[in-house]
């Protein structure tokens, strides 16, 4: 079992600290500033396909994890660019593009072994796929940008990989496409083209591909989306792509900071204060500044 | 007796019967708008309408002023009714019972309670199995049963806004024929409220594939313990800042009161297959569960019932469970037709490998309904065997199901008690139900001892205390088995951020902090007429 005492030592009891994962989203929610940078442990502790869970260091890269899971026919609902780590993906907290099948990032973290602002190790959540023992610290941690705790080791929910899949795209109204497919993994809309990913059993995917083909959609490669993200506000900026059902627009421009209701911000600030009264963790960053 | 009768002169403020408001600024599908309904709950609490009175108790006076006489009840009948829930916890003591109808009403209840330094407890249908809604030391009870409007259903965006008092099954019925449904389906769905589901992060048989309540709750309007109203989460995607929606779900009423809930609606599967497998030995059924998952199939549901449950249920339901079987396993598969057909064949093969005697595939909806009826009525049927039951709901790694089940039979039988197992096997979520007669002297001690042993065995097997029923009052004493003081402190930090003064459903969940008045475990458990 992975030992967190090294990480707890690195974090210590005083001074500003932040974890560097792959650095691929280093600027999200603000600059790191003058902090001591620590690294989370790496490596896969254990993986049992019959449990659909994996125990892994938060510093492990997504690609290393994906390879290990794929070897046994499973995968996890985390997405990110090359070099991104599990800890980083969880702390940035963006759901994978295939959320329609794979699920949301909020539902992936079952247990997190953390170091708190007092330098003590604590465990959030539990190892099983279902758990309501006490408060849901795991969901609170996902998307918290490392401002509440340093995450060392995690237990994640895995899923079987689909047998087959296809991306289809065409100038067909969104509603028509939505009515023709069952639980699509992804639906994208750029103002003209509707792009959909279907996945599942081979014969079912073939049938859906035929049906969508009949509507005028064609097989395409996985689309490359613009890097920035904003909340869907009812209109599409030029070059933007809407992730339907997710409320996210993938776009070229950096989004402006989102509006946050006063009451929500007060509660959020109180949460940060409760976990990290001296603001040791990622002092330069604030999840309220992340748009989508 | 009602204070309205007790006190004579008439100066109290009365607000006349306020109609349900459809307070929605969101896009509303016209067809759905017309079906917004309101059902006044039928509990005859006997308030006297229109009669006004001077009220001696300042807390009661302020509540009546804020809500109107007819929504504030002080009679001993109501207080005793609202002093317990579906758990074995007894000795709770409700204070004044309020029946808010709007968010403003709830905010008023909370504000008035805390301004008097009094705690408040949210309550839905009271079907909770861990004492979560059991009041300690006469708090203001905020009962949500009149907040049962389905405000809006958006079929295009597949979401619905509902009041917290909407009964789980009422939402499903309301949606029938639309091609969409609300996935969480606790066995208590005929009675429990969606607010209660949110507070307990409830599960159900079909949560294996679709996830528990948290995965289906997008946004929640919450009255915080200081009376502030906030919207946590968003109809679509994440909202900026921390996932406070995620933190609130499962908070067991200690983080505030949900007053409006935006739920995700799930597409009805085009094809459903329900299989019934029966076994000579329960170990075969248990081992089959992990074999199915390891093979890459995630069924919609995987439920096990043992011999005693079969014997109790079959005579009533005539589901066709073989009476000589040691266990039956229900497997439900759903999705597109080819995938389902293929999975049926694979399940049959895995079943035969694990000693299944027969594999029956329901040929029509009628047969499917009967198979499920047995499962969903299990608790009710058990009541005819013994009058009382005590239930744990630990979760264990599913690969260890067979071994842990055997240990459970042992520890219960060693204490001359009877246990029946009917559970969400796919998630490893056990429901060992110890049945007994509380009139038998000394039996309660043995029951609680066996219960504690079951929890210990589960935690030692790498499991957790509760999969869906929550901690409430009843499992607080087990929290140290799973969590270190530092773990519990982190949980308390979350709680404190929501509830600075500690007045929201105090003495629940965390073993630290206040104790709960005169609460004990059970003198007599509810007579089971649950369906
Ligand atoms: C082109 C592109 C596409 C993307 N697409 C997706 C997508 O489809 N789905 C998706 O989910 N995400 C997506 N992302 C975001 C992605 O999840 C993050 O960029 C990435 O995973 C962050 O990982 P990292 O290791 O690089 O984190 P870093 O950039 O190193 O860190 C990000 C933040 O997390 C904190 N942090 C990192 N590790 C820990 C830890 N162990 N404990 C506490 N705090 C920690 C850091 O301090 C920092 O604040 C995309 C990003 C890019 C650039
Ligand atoms: C026969 C039977 C079968 C059951 N089967 C299942 C099952 O399959 N799966 C499962 O998960 N559970 C099951 N349960 C347990 C129970 O039905 C669920 O926990 C249910 O969600 C409770 O809902 P309720 O409305 O009865 O809540 P209550 O019992 O009234 O309250 C439960 C908790 O929620 C809080 N609460 C209620 N409403 C609100 C609100 N609006 N805002 C904030 N907090 C609130 C209360 O304070 C309390 O802590 C079963 C119970 C019985 C009796």
Pocket of ligand 1 (CB under 6 A): A 18-26, 40, 58, 78-81, 84-85, 87-89, 91-92, 94-97, 105, 145-146, 150-151, 227, 282, 285
Q: Please count the structural domains in chain A.
A: 2
Chain B residues inside the 8 Å CB shell of A275? 490, 493
Instruction: Note whether A13 and A139 are same-domain residues.
Output: yes
pTM of the predicted model as reported, rounded to 2 decimal places? 0.92
Give residues 85 to 124 of A whose Cβ lies within 8 Å of B.
93-95, 103-104, 106-107, 114, 116, 120-124
Instruction: Note whether A62 and A178 are same-domain residues.
Output: no
Q: What is the pLDDT of residues B41-66, one digit of tens each?
A: 323 333 333 445 678 899 999 999 99
Instruction: Note whether A18 and A110 are same-domain residues.
Output: yes
SS (H, E, C) B314-332: HHHHCCCCCCCCCEEEEEE
Mean pLDDT in chain B?
A: 87
Closest alpha carbon to B136 in B278, B271, B253, B46: B253
pLDDT score, position B518:
74
Handedness of CA A14, A18, A19, A20 (dihedral sign): negative
Instruction: Note whether A38 and A149 are same-domain residues.
Output: yes
Q: Which ligand is nearest to the CA of B527?
A: 2
Nearest to A200 among B214, B339, B494 (CB): B339
Instruction: Note whether A32 and A127 are same-domain residues.
Output: yes
Residue A103, domain member (yes or no): yes
What is the full DSSP assignment across A31-72?
---S-EEE----SEEEEETTTTEEEEETTSBHHHHHHHHHTT
Tens digit of pLDDT at every position of chain A (292 positions): 568 999 999 999 999 999 999 988 777 777 777 889 999 999 999 999 999 999 999 999 999 999 999 999 999 999 999 999 999 999 999 999 999 999 999 999 999 999 999 999 999 999 999 999 999 999 999 999 999 999 999 999 999 999 999 999 999 999 999 999 999 999 999 999 999 999 999 999 999 999 999 999 999 999 999 989 999 988 899 999 999 999 999 999 999 889 999 999 999 999 999 999 999 999 999 999 988 8
Instruction: Note whether A10 and A155 are same-domain residues.
Output: yes
pLDDT at B383 over 80: no
pLDDT score, position B521:
66
* B166-185 average pLDDT score: 96
What domains can you pick out in chain B, each with its CATH number?
Answer: 271-376 (3.30.70.2190)
For residue A63, give the CATH number of its domain: 3.30.465.10
pLDDT at B190 over 50: yes
Q: At B471, is the pLDDT very low, low, confident or very high (cuts 50, 70, 90)?
A: very high
Report the distance separating Cα A269 and Cα A256, nearest Å. Answer: 20
Instruction: Note whether A97 and A213 are same-domain residues.
Output: no
Q: At B517, is the pLDDT very low, low, confident or very high (cuts 50, 70, 90)?
A: confident
Q: What is the pLDDT of residues A253-271, one digit of tens each?
A: 999 889 999 999 999 999 9
Q: What is the pLDDT of residues A190-238, one digit of tens each?
A: 999 999 999 999 999 999 999 999 999 999 999 999 989 999 988 899 9
Q: Spell out a b/e string for B395-434, using b for 16 or more CB atoms within 10 Å of the CB, else e.
A: bbbbbbbbebbebbeebbeebebebbbbbbbbbbbbbbbb
Nearest-atom number in ligand 2 for the CA of B193 is 25
- Alpha helices per DSSP H over B84-193: 103-115, 168-175
The two most distant CA atoms of chain A are separated, in Å, by: 64
Chain B residues inside the 8 Å CB shell of A152? none
Q: What is the pLDDT of residues B73-101, one digit of tens each?
A: 999 999 999 999 988 888 899 999 999 99
pLDDT score, position B35:
29
Instruction: Note whether A149 and A85 are same-domain residues.
Output: yes
Please give the residue range of the domain that contains residue A225: 164-251
Mean pLDDT in chain A?
A: 95
Instruction: Note whether A209 and A141 are same-domain residues.
Output: no
Contact B494, A135 (CB under 8 A): yes
Q: What ipTM is given for this predicted complex?
A: 0.96
Q: Which ligand is nearest to the CA of B238?
A: 1
Contact B304, B285 (CB under 8 A): yes
Instruction: Measure CA B363 to chain center.
Output: 32
């Amino acid at each position: 079992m992975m030992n967190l005492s090294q990480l707890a030592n690195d974090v210590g009891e005083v001074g500003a600290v932040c974890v560097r994962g792959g650095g691929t989203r280093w600027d999200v929610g603000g600059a790191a500033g003058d902090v001591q940078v620590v690294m989370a442990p790496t490596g896969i502790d254990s993986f049992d396909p019959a449990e659909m869970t994996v125990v892994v260091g938060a510093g492990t890269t997504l690609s290393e994890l994906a390879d290990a899971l794929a070897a046994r026919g499973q995968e996890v609902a985390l997405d990110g660019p090359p070099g991104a780590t599990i800890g980083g993906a969880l702390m940035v907290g963006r759901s994978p593009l295939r959320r329609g099948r794979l699920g949301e990032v909020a539902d992936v973290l079952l247990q997190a072994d953390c170091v708190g602002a007092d330098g003590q190790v604590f465990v959030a959540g539990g190892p099983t796929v279902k758990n309501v023992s006490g408060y849901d610290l795991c969901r609170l941690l996902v998307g918290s940008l490392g401002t509440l705790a340093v995450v060392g080791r995690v237990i994640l929910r895995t899923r079987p990989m689909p047998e087959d899949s296809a991306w289809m795209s065409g100038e067909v109204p969104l509603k028509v496409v939505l009515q023709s497919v069952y639980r699509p993994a992804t639906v994208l809309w750029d103002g003209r083209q509707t792009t959909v990913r279907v996945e599942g059993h081979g014969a079912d995917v073939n049938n859906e591909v035929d049906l969508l083909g009949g509507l005028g959609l064609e097989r395409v490669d996985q689309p490359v989306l613009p890097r920035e993200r904003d909340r869907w506000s009812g209109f599409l900026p030029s070059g933007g792509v809407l992730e339907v059902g997710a409320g996210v627009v993938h776009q070229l421009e950096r989004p402006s900071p989102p509006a946050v209701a006063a009451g929500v911000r007060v509660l959020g600030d109180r949460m940060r204060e409760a976990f990290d009264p001296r603001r040791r963790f990622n002092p330069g960053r604030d999840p309220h500044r992340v748009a989508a | 007796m009602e204070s309205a009768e007790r006190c004579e002169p008439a100066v109290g403020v009365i607000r006349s019967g306020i109609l349900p408001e459809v307070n929605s600024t969101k896009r509303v599908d016209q067809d759905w708008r017309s079906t917004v309904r309101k059902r006044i709950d039928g509990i005859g609490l006997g308030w006297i309408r229109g009669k006004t009175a001077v009220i001696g108790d300042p807390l009661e006076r302020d509540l009546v002023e804020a809500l109107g006489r007819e929504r504030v009840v002080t009679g001993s009948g109501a207080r005793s009714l609202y002093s317990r829930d579906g758990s074995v916890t007894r000795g709770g003591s409700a204070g004044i019972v309020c029946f808010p109808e709007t968010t403003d009403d709830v905010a008023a209840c909370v504000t008035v309670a805390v301004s008097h330094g009094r705690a408040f407890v949210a309550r839905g249908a009271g079907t909770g199995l861990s004492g979560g809604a059991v009041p300690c030391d006469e708090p203001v009870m905020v009962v949500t049963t009149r907040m049962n409007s389905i405000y809006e259903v958006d079929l295009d965006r597949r979401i619905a806004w509902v009041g917290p008092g909407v009964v789980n099954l009422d939402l499903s019925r309301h949606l029938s024929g639309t091609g969409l449904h609300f996935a969480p389906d606790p066995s208590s769905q005929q009675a429990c409220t969606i607010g209660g589901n949110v507070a307990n992060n409830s599960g159900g048989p079909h949560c294996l594939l679709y996830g528990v309540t948290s995965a289906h709750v997008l946004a929640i309007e919450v009255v915080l313990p200081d009376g502030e109203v906030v919207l946590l989460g968003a109809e679509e995607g994440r909202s900026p800042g921390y996932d406070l929606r995620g933190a609130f779900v499962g908070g067991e009423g200690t983080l505030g009161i949900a007053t409006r809930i935006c739920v995700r609606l799930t597409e009805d599967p085009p094809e459903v297959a329900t299989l019934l497998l029966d076994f000579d030995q329960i170990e075969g059924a248990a081992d089959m569960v992990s074999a199915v998952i390891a093979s890459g199939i995630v069924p919609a549901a995987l439920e096990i019932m043992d011999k005693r449950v079969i014997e109790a249920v079959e005579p009533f339901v005539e589901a066709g469970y073989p009476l000589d079987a040691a266990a039956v396993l229900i497997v439900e598969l759903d999705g597109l037709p080819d995938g389902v057909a293929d999975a049926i064949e694979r399940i049959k093969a895995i079943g035969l490998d694990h000693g299944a005697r027969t594999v029956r595939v329901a040929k029509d909806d009628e047969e499917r309904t009967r198979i499920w009826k047995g499962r969903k009525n299990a608790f009710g049927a058990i009541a005819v065997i013994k009058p009382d039951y005590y239930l744990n709901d630990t979760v264990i790694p599913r690969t260890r199901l067979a071994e842990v089940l055997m240990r459970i039979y042992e520890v219960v039988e060693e204490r001359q008690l009877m246990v029946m197992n009917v559970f969400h096997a796919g998630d490893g979520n056990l429901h060992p139900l110890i049945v007994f007669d509380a009139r038998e002297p000394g039996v309660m001690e043995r029951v609680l001892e066996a219960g504690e042993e079951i929890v210990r065995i589960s935690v030692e097997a790498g499991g957790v205390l509760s999969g869906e029923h929550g901690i409430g009052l009843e499992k607080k004493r087990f929290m140290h088995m799973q969590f270190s003081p530092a773990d519990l402190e982190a949980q308390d930090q979350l709680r404190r951020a929501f509830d600075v003064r500690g007045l929201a459903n105090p003495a629940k969940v965390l073993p630290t902090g206040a104790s709960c008045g005169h609460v004990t475990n059970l003198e007599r458990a509810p007579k089971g007429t649950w369906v």
